Amino acid sequence: MKITSFSAQVLFLAALLACAMAPAFAQTGAEAQAPLWHERALTVDTHCDTPFKLLEKGWDIGQYHKTGERGSGCQDLPRMKEGGLDASFFAVFVGQGPRTPEGHARAKEKAATILDAMDAMYEKYPALCGRALTPADARRLEKEGKRAIFIGMENGYPIGRDPGLIDYFYRRGVRYVTLAHTSDNDICDSSTDRRDPEDRGLSEWGKQVLWRLNDLGVMIDVSHVSDRSFHDVLALTRAPVIASHSCARALSDHPRNLSDDMLRALKKNGGVIQLCILDDYVKMPPPNPKREQAFAELFKKVDETYGGWGGIKDKAARDKLEAEYDAIQARFPQPPVYVRDAVDHIDHIVRLIGIDHVGIGTDFDGGGGLADCRDVTELRNITIELARRGYTEEQVGKIWGGNAMRVMQQVIDLAQKK
Ligand SMILES: [Zn+2]
C-alpha cells in the first residue's frame, strides 16, 4: 500500500502505534521500520480460499468482520486494507471427485459458479477491489488504494479432459492452476493420495495441459502435487513455476512440503516457493490418534452431507459444525505454532536457494493461520519477525511479492515469445 491520503496516513499511524504497543516485539532498529516496509512493499498473498465464503449466505466480503469471531473468516476487503495486504490470489477450488465425464462436468459447473461469485464481487465493490490479471494491474490497483484480486484455480479437476476448458478458464481470469489437490487426478498424482501408493507423476494428458498453460501464460502451481509430478513438470515446462502454498520438508516432514532437492530444482527453474502459514505444515504436530479420529468423523459427516465444507450454504448448519470443530480443538489441543516457526522455514529456504525464490501464500480460509497471525490484520507480524532477523527492506519486498510478481511476469513474457 502506498500512503496517498489523509485517512491512509491515519490508518498507517494507527498500525504503527498498534505494533509499538505489542509487548512481544521490542521496537529497535530495523524492527521499528518494519511497519513502514510493510506499507511500502507490494504485498502479495498467492493463496487463500476466501472465494468459498463468497458463496455463503449472510457473509459479505465488503463488510468488516471482527478477528476471531465465529464465521468471520480470515479476511474481507476492509480487513485486507487494515492488514496492508495489497494483492491476493483467490482460489477457485473444487475438491476431487469421480474421474468420469459426469464428475468432470459437475466440477466445471462448480468452478463456473465460484467464478460468477468473483465477477459479482468485482462488480459490487469497484471502490474496494479490482480484477488483476498481470503484475502491472496489481501495481496500478495498489496506487489506487484498492485490493488487487487475482484468480488461481486449486485443482485442475474442473478442466476434465477438455483442452478447450483451459482457454475458457483463462478467459475467465484464472492465472495459475494448481495441477492437483489432495487426491490423484487425470493431470497428475497428488502428494497425499494414500489409496494408490504408486506415484505415477504427470500423465500424457497432464503434459498437454502443461504446454497449453505455458502457451497462455498461466502459472503452473506445484503445491499439492506428488514428488514425481513435481519433477516431471520441471523437466517439461518452459516457464518458471510456483508452489503457491508449501513449506520446507527439512523443517517439517510433511508430503505437502518441498524437500531440499526439490527446492534446488525450483531455483534452477527460476520459480518460487510461497510459504504456507498453516500450522500442521509449518510444524508437524505430535501424533494424537484420538484427535485425528474425531476430526476424521466430523469431516466424513461434512463430506457425506454437503460434499465438503464449501457445500454448507445454511448459516445455522455451518455454525453448528464449526462449533463441533472448535470443540474437538478444545478437547485435543495441539501445541501452538507461531510466526517465528514459519520464518524459520524462510531462513532455511534463503540459506539453501537464495532470497529470490521465496514468498508467502497464507492459505487463509483454507486452514492457514498461526497463533500470532490469525488473520490478515496480523500479517505485519511476519514483516516484523523478518526485520528482527536482519532481512533488509529490499529483501522483505522480494519475499512479500517481488519474487512472485517476477515469476508471473516471466510466465506472461515467455507465452508471448512463442
Ligand atoms: Zn491447498
For residue 225, the Cα-to-chain-centroid distance in whole angstroms is 15
**Are 90 and 107 in the same domain?**
yes
Contact assessment for residue 247 and residue 253, using Cβ atoms and an 8 Å cutoff: no
Residue 28 has a pLDDT of 63
Ligand 1 mean position to 223 CA, how many Å? 7
| C-alpha 91 – ligand 1 centre gap (Å) | 9
Query: Do 348 and 324 share a structural domain?
Result: no
Q: Which CATH number does the domain housing residue 344 bear?
A: 3.20.20.140
**CA 254 to ligand 1 centroid distance, Å:** 13
- 95 alpha carbon – ligand 1 mean position (Å): 10
The residues facing 161 across adjacent strands are none
The alpha carbon of 318 and the centre of ligand 1 are apart by a number of angstroms equal to 21
Last residue of a domain, one of 333, 359, 393: 333
The pLDDT score that the predictor gives to residue 373 is 97
Domain with 252, as residue range(s), is 42-286+337-417
Residue 374 lies in a domain: yes
CA of 3 to the centre of ligand 1 (A): 33
Residue 16 lies in a domain: no
- pLDDT value at residue 2: 38
Under DSSP, the state recorded for 308 is S
- Is 3 inside a domain boundary? no
274 CA distance to ligand 1 middle (Å):
12
Indicate whether 179 and 301 sit together in one domain. no
Q: Ligand 1: distance of its center to the CA of 417 in Å?
A: 31
Distance (angstroms) between ligand 1 centre and the Cα of 4 equals 35
Q: Is residue 2 part of a domain?
A: no
Number of domains forming the structure of the chain: 2
Residues 132 and 207 grouped into a single domain: yes
| 211 located within any domain | yes
Shared domain for 217 and 320, answered yes or no, is no
Indicate whether 236 and 263 sit together in one domain: yes
- Whether residues 248 and 277 share a domain: the answer is yes
Calpha distance 399→418 (Å, rounded):
29
DSSP conformation letters of 52-95: HHHTSTT--TTS---TTSTT--S--HHHHHHTT--EEEEEEE--
From ligand 1's centre to the CA of 23, what distance in Å? 33
* Residue 144, in any domain of the structure: yes
Q: How far is the CA of 181 from the centre of ligand 1 (A)?
A: 7
Distance 96 CA to ligand 1 centre (A): 12
C-alpha cell at 49: 480460499
Ligand 1 center–CA 154 separation, angstroms: 7
Is 189 in a helix, a strand, or coil?
coil
Q: 1 CA distance to ligand 1 centroid (A)?
A: 27
Do residue 321 and residue 256 come from a single domain? no
Non-local (6+) Cβ contacts of 359 within 8 A are: 44, 46, 272, 273, 274, 275, 398, 399, 400, 401, 403, 404
**CA 51 to centroid of ligand 1, rounded, Å:** 13
**Smallest Cα–Cα separation from 157: which of 98, 231, 233, 212?**
98
Ligand 1 centre to CA of 57 (Å) is 23
Q: Is 374 in the same domain as 323?
A: no
Among 269, 304, 333, the domain-final residue is 333
Q: Which of 336, 334, 352, 90 is nearest to 247 (CA)?
A: 352
Tens of pLDDT, residue by residue, the chain (418 residues): 433 443 444 444 444 444 444 444 445 678 899 999 999 999 999 999 999 999 988 899 999 999 888 889 999 999 999 999 999 999 999 999 999 999 999 999 999 999 999 999 999 999 999 999 999 999 999 999 999 999 999 999 999 999 999 999 999 999 999 999 999 999 999 999 878 788 999 999 999 999 999 999 999 999 999 999 999 999 999 999 999 999 999 999 999 999 999 999 999 999 999 999 999 999 998 889 999 999 999 989 988 888 777 778 787 888 899 899 989 989 998 899 999 999 999 999 999 999 999 999 999 999 999 999 999 999 999 999 999 999 999 999 999 999 999 999 999 999 987 6
Whether residue 371 sits in one domain with residue 396: yes
Residue 348 lies in a domain: yes
User: Does the residue 413 lie in any domain?
Assistant: yes
Q: Which of 305, 333, 361 is the last residue of a domain?
A: 333
Residues 100 and 77 in one domain: yes
Q: Do 265 and 318 lie in a common domain?
A: no
CA of 2 to the centre of ligand 1 (A): 30
CB 27 within 8 A of CB 20: yes
Distance of CA 39 from the midpoint of ligand 1 (Å): 27
